[in-house]
Every structure is written in structure tokens, then in C-alpha cells.
Amino acid sequence: MINGHKIEELQKKSEQLENQMNDPVIFNDLSKIKNISKEYNEIKKILDNFSTIKLLEKQISECDEILKSADISMIEIAKSEKENLEQKLNKLNLETEEMINPSSPYDKKNAIMEIRAGTGGEESGLFSADLFRMYSRYCERHGLKLQILSDSRTEIGGFKEIIFEIFGDNAFGVLKYESGVHRVQRVPETEKSGRIHTSASTVAVLPEAEDVDIKIEEKDLKIDTFCSSGAGGQSVNTTYSAVRITHLPSAVVVSCQDERSQSQNREKAMQILKSRLLALEEEKRQQEIAKNRKSQVGSGDRSEKIRTYNFPQNRVTDHRINLTSYNLDRVLDGEIDEFIEKLKEFYRNEN
């Protein structure tokens, strides 16, 4: 149940933010107005949810009144309607509670996703492309925007690596449990004998880092430049536009070569580096939380096999929650909502 006092606080905060947005001094400060607008929209969504919750509670109460009557035909209809309303209410209560008290301080941030080919050679690269399409379609279905930051393609149309940013409400909070090893079982396009092969790709989901989240000292960076290359490693230009940044204290290395200019590649590489460092901080925080749990199964570690996509059986299985779907084609078309919702519920109970 959502705290009524908290709602009152949010209503007052909403009014304050609305007044600030109408202040000419703040309105001319693009950075401030962006942050204020974001916070205002988040609070408005919570308040809208709360209004819907009160309406659902009223409708459930009306159903209860009908159930007290002696009209048998109306009682059956009221029972069915009440069950439907209660499902909606429970889902909305959980969603709103997560917005007010997110499991991570970074849940509301945009997300940076990294998909890398693992075991399986060319087939793994093709599977990485399938995963990228799956997340792209998911974003389209939910009104999230996607922007590729960096990619390295294989000669037959797959990805050795692709890094992209997802913009939208709670993007990191929604997608963070996709981190881990995704395994595919199918007959590869490159296999003539028709044998089923097992390949894997690794997915990492990082919260987008802002300057206020991560401070990086210039002395902690080693920056190298080199000529960018295309599929198969062939050089595609003769200028040193590609950038490799090494963060010396953490040994995290980021390369970017997609943009034409060195400065643009450096900017993108720094963006990815900040997010990786922020993700390391979040990983440490989660490890501290995990110490108080009975089990660390399904911790979201990137080395953990989390999901298998079996083509011959049209089956997808998430091993953390023992959830199996026999709609692999629809899952790869971006219909992963069931997995996301069940994972959120699982980790909510774990906490």
C-alpha cells in the first residue's frame, strides 16, 4: 500500500517544480530546465498512477457491494470483474512502489547495453545480431529510443560487438536483469551437415553515467589513437580517428572508431567508460546486499548463463527463474515482457 503522506509530499514537490519551470531565470538555463522537467515528469507519472489506484479501489468496492446482493446473475459478473480489477491494482501498486522506492539508485537512468560474441565463432556473431534486433524491437514496442554508440561487424552480417544506448523512463531498471550469458542452440547457417550447435553471446547492461555520478581525473587516463578498421580488420581510413581509452586505476579499456573525427570518438568512448565505472560501483553495492541473502543465485553476473534460446523446440528458458516459453520467434521479435516482469518480481522478493 502506498503511503498517503508520501503522496502529499510529491504533490507539493510537483507544484514547486512547476513554478520553477515557469521561472524565466531557470527557463533560460537548459541544463537546469532539463533536470527539473525530468523530475517533474517522474513525479507526475507517480501521481497519475495513484489517481488510477484510487479509482480501481473504488470500483472494487462497488463490486463488493454487488456481491452482497441476492442477484445470482450479477454476482458472477461482479466476481469476474473484481478479479480483473484486483490484478490491475496489484500490478499498478507494485509499479508505483518501484518508482517511489527503486531497488537501485540508478534504475531511473537511461541504459547502455553491450552485446559481444562469445563461444561459437561466426554463429555467435549472428546470434549477437539476433539479440540486438530483439532489444531494438522491444524498444520500438515500448516507445524507447535507441542509439548505436559503437559496433564491430563480422564479414557475414553478425556483430563481434555492438554497444548502444537506450533512452526512456526507467530504461536501466527495466533491462538490467538482461546482463549475463545468452546461449543459442540451432543449426548454424554456416553448418552444412545439419548438426545443432551451441553458441553464446554476452550481454552487459550499464546505467548511463552523468558527470555528477562519476568524476574521472585526466591523470588516470591513457589515451591512444589509431586508424579505424572495418569488418575482418581491414583499414577503412588513414587518419588516426579511432580512440582507445584506458582507465588506469580500474584497468577498464574502451575503444571507439565509428565516428569520422577523433573528438567525436573520444566523447563516445568517455561516455561508455563512465557508464562502465558506474556499473562497477553498482556491482559492489549489489555484492554488499547479497551478503545478507541466503543465496546469490541469479545475481546478474555477466559470466552467468542466464537464458537459452532453443530453435529446434521453439523454446526460450530463463534459468534464474525456471521460466520457459514456447514462442521463441515472438521473443526474438521483442516480446520479452513476461521474462522482464517475472525477473523483477523474483529479485523484488529476493531483496
Taking only the tens place, the pLDDT of each residue in 96-137 is 888 887 777 788 889 999 999 998 888 999 999 999 999 999
Out of 16-25, 122-131, 267-276, 312-321, which region has the weakest mean confidence (pLDDT)?
16-25
For residue 288, give the nearest of 299, 274, 276 by alpha carbon. 299
Question: Which alpha helices (H) appear in 142-185, and where do they start and end?
Answer: 171-175
Confidence check: pLDDT of 296 > 60? no
Q: What is the pLDDT of residues 18-56, one digit of tens each?
A: 888 888 878 777 778 878 888 888 889 889 999 999 999
Residue 16 DSSP SS3: helix
What integer pLDDT is reported at residue 239 of this predicted model? Answer: 65
Confidence check: pLDDT of 229 > 80? no
Out of 58-62, 221-225, 303-307, 340-344, which region has the weakest mean confidence (pLDDT)?
303-307
Q: What is the pTM of this model?
A: 0.72
Helix 72-100 vs helix 337-350: crossing angle, to nearest 10: 70
- 126 close to 158: Cβ distance less than 8 angstroms: yes
Q: How many CB atoms lie within 10 A of CB 68?
A: 8
